Amino acid sequence: MSLDKILAISGKPGLYELKTQTRSGFLAESLLDGKRLSVSIRHNVSVLSEIAIYTFTEEVPLREIFKKIHEKENGEQAISHKESKNKLETYFSEVLPDYDEDRVYASDMKKVIQWYNILQAKGMTDFSEPEENNNSEEEE
């Protein structure tokens, strides 16, 4: 499953999978407990595929960060998001050495690590770029 269907909803713990659209928003299912939730368009919702982390040179997509954590941990769980600020910063600098310390906060690091652990526990570890349907090669 791609990160295009995984959501973070402000004020709600964990991650959600987009199930279907409704007239007033959409229906999402929690990856933590499987409960379904009706989300209105007034909620602040972030799609994981649209999130990036600041570095000194560019913004790195969240999927790239997840790939690096996955490689570092050999596909296993990362450290707990409840570790101390210093441990989180040390861990994050191992994963993304040039992250911008002025714009990436400990709370951001906690979210990224927590989200990775949720996805890893659900077996959603394919963080590759979604393939676009490109028919031009097939036509030649």
pLDDT recorded at residue 131 = 63
pLDDT in tens, the chain (140 residues): 689 999 999 989 999 999 998 888 999 999 999 999 999 888 899 999 999 999 999 999 999 999 999 999 999 999 999 999 999 999 999 999 999 999 999 999 999 999 999 999 999 988 887 665 444 444 44
DSSP string, the chain: --GGGEEEETTS-S-EEEEEEETTEEEEEETTT--EEEEETTS-EEEGGG-EEEBSS-EEEHHHHHHHHHHHTTTS----TTS-HHHHHHHHHHHSTTB-TTTS-HHHHHHHHHHHHHHHHTT----SPPPP---HHHH-
